[in-house]
Structure 1
Amino acid sequence: MEQKLSLKRLFELYDEMLRVPHRAEIYRELQDEDDLFLLLVYSEMLGVPNPAFYYTLELYPYIIETFHEWHLRMGMDKSPLQGIRCC
């Protein structure tokens, strides 16, 4: 049993060694995916036609909390949407 645990721990350490140098890249990629998703969800409000608007409308209450960080990352000082006031 102890050999199994140590082998498992060895695999965890090996996995961590492979991940450490790429942590910043992974974080940036995940942030880019998040930004693209939020742009898709809010695109209809920004004036860009979105064929999936009806399906993404129900997501608004869940992602409204992250909207402020998103529009600041996109370089917008104030909220670009009239209906959403976060600043």
Structure 2
Amino acid sequence: MASKRISLKRLFQYYDEVLSLPHKSEVARELRDEDDLFLLLVYSDMLGIPNPAFYYTLELYPYILEKFHEWHIRMGMEKSPLTGFRCC
């Protein structure tokens, strides 16, 4: 009975991989776009866009500093586009 469960579990894992294989790049692109949107929302106050949740997102800055650095390098900016905010 245990070997049947293991083989059934493997079958479900294989089925899931087969279905998701052609869409891995699309999923990765969507996740990257969501991360970019989140960074925009968090740093919007520094960009001059009013952010009503600025007080709550302020404590997230130390945790997403590395993501911000990767983002502005990916966007083709050698230095941080925000004045007074150094990440490099």
TM-score using structure 2 length: 0.91
Q: Deviations over 1:38-74 (max 9, x none)?
A: 0000010011111111110010010011111112333
- Is the helix fraction higher in 1 or 2? 1
Q: Counterpart of 1:78?
A: 79
3-state SS, counterpart of residue 60 of structure 1? helix
2:45 paired with 1:40: no
* In 2, Cα distance between equivalents of 1:65 and 1:84: 13
Structure 1 segments of 4 or more deviating over 4 A? none
* In 1, Cα distance between equivalents of 2:3 and 2:80: 56
Q: Which runs of 5+ in 2 are unaligned?
A: none
**Cα RMSD (Å) of the superposition?**
1.2
* In 1, Cα distance between equivalents of 2:24 and 2:5: 28
1:3-82 maps to which residues of 2 (within 5 A)?
A: 3-82=4-83
* In 2, Cα distance between equivalents of 1:49 and 1:73: 25
Q: Tell me the percent identity.
A: 74
TM-score using structure 1 length: 0.91
Q: Deviations over 1:1-37 (max 9, x none)?
A: 1011001100000000001000000000000000000
* In 2, Cα distance between equivalents of 1:48 and 1:73: 22
**Paired positions, count:** 87
Q: Which runs of 5+ in 1 are unaligned?
A: none
